[in-house]
Amino acid sequence: MSTFNIARLALRLTAPALMGAILLPTAAFAQSADQAEAYRLEQEIKRLADRNAWAGVERAYEDLVNLDAQVSVEIHNVGAQSARFLGKTFEVYQRLERAQAIEPTETTTADLAGFDQQYGRVRIKGDARRRPELTREAMPFLPDQRKSIEWAQRVVTETGSFEGMLPLGDYAIAGKAFTVEAGPEWQDVSVSRKEATAAGASGEGVVYKGPVAVVGYSFYTSGAPSDPKPNVEVASPETFSGSGFHVAGGYEIGLTRQFGVAPTVSYRGMFGSSTFHHFTAWAAAAFRPGDLRIAVGPSYGVIQGSGTGVADWFDVGQSQTQNPADGIRYTGISAGPGLKFSAGYGLLDLEPLQGVVELGGIIQTDGARTYMGFGLHVGIVPKIPRFEG
């Protein structure tokens, strides 16, 4: 056998062991991390349940289930309790089934049978852009059943559709009457966009609105004029940079849950050997994926500046020994269009506002030179009412 064939055979025999040696620690580490996160979520669920903070319990329970970790009967029962409080009847049923699969009890069996007798399964299929209204003429007396209907109405209002369990009885949606009946079969109710519109269904419209205000650190800089002219008699500052602060205020109007417009005015100052005051009007488009907020758009600014040290090419016949360019005072006003942008993340819930931290910047030109500002800011923006099912 050749040396090459011997080496290839050895590689074939040892490769699985080598791959195992590499992958097993990685898998063990990932499993350990999941277990640690599962334990943390279980403790959080218990703490929140003790405080009757059921919305928090719901979020933590769903995060725990998404880990695909082993969940105890106790936690499944707490999850069922949180879903019951919110009116999410089908989720109550599912979580009781999970608990029953681990540790069957007569109580859970009776609870599941009660749901099957008093509720039916319904799928309402509509259009998110034209969300119809779900109604029931006579609301049931039992609090759990009322919550179940109110939850379904909220889901339809927010998304246009619904899939879950409703108490037995007669309902209507976008002019369509239907009856919920007991049983394990799903009942489908479809509502077209045309039908929803004819019934006066709500569309996107203005989804959210509110003030925008930020303040923070600013760094400001500008290079020397790009097109100097010989013997010009207007002093123009040499390259400069410095620090100051930035403050902005405006109003944001959301046309969808992911997009809005935010007209804003701002002030950016730089202080030191050179002093600059930059006032800006900004037509911003705001993109809101999740807790991110990205704003960008054209701007127009007026800059008032003063300081010492003009561009080297500035020359009106002065003595460079007695009056060098870097000792000449300047003052003046510049104006021009620009582009302003920011990227922020929501860290604090201040319903109906949201506290954010952001990085922002601006680029502006007056035709002769470019001005740039960057900074780290904190502030408030409108909180978008997102539906969490």
> In this predicted structure, which of 142-146, 196-200, 363-367 has the lowest mean pLDDT?
196-200
Question: Which has the higher per-residue pLDDT, 167 or 323?
Answer: 167
Q: What percent of the chain has pLDDT over 90?
A: 46
Burial class from Cβ neighbours inside 10 Å (0-12, 13-18, 19+) for residue 115 reads middle
Which of 114-118, 184-188, 202-206, 347-351 comes out lowest in average pLDDT?
202-206
- With H, G, I as helix, E, B as strand and everything else as coil, classify residue 126: coil
Dump pLDDT digits (tens) for 92-120: 999 999 999 999 999 999 999 999 999 99
Specify the long-range contacts of residues 314-319, CB closer than 8 Å, at least 24 apart.
Answer: 314/228, 314/232, 314/235, 314/236, 315/230, 315/231, 316/231, 316/233
- Gap between the Cα atoms of 161 and 87, Å rounded: 16
Q: How many CA atoms lie within 13 A of 211 on its CB side?
A: 9
pLDDT at residue 176 tops 50: yes
Q: Is the pLDDT of residue 349 over 70?
A: yes
Q: Please give the structure tokens belonging to residue 217.
A: 């650190």
Instruction: List 259's β-bridge partners, or say none.
Output: 287
Average of per-residue pLDDT across 349-363: 91
What value does the mean pLDDT take over residues 19-43?
65
Ranges 148-152, 229-233, 263-267: which has the least confidence: 229-233
- Indicate if the pLDDT at residue 327 is higher than 80: no
268, containing H or E segment: strand 259-270
| pLDDT score recorded for residue 232 | 47
Q: Which CATH class is domain 208-382?
A: mainly beta
Length of the chain, in residues? 389
Mean pLDDT of 350-358: 90
Give me the mean pLDDT over the 328-349 stretch: 90
Higher pLDDT, 319 or 235: 235
The pLDDT of residue 194: 82
Tokens of 71: 């969940």
- Domain range 15-104, its CATH number among 1.25.40, 1.10.3470, 1.10.150, 1.10.287: 1.25.40
Mind listing the pLDDT tens digit for each residue in 292-322? 999 999 999 999 988 877 766 655 555 555 5
Q: What is the mean pLDDT of the chain?
A: 83
Token pair of 303 as six digits: 């800059």
- What is the residue extent of each domain of the chain? 15-104, 118-198, 208-382
User: Average pLDDT in the 321-343 region?
Assistant: 81
The helix (run of H) or strand (run of E) holding residue 12 is: helix 3-50
Above 90 in pLDDT, residue 369?
Answer: no
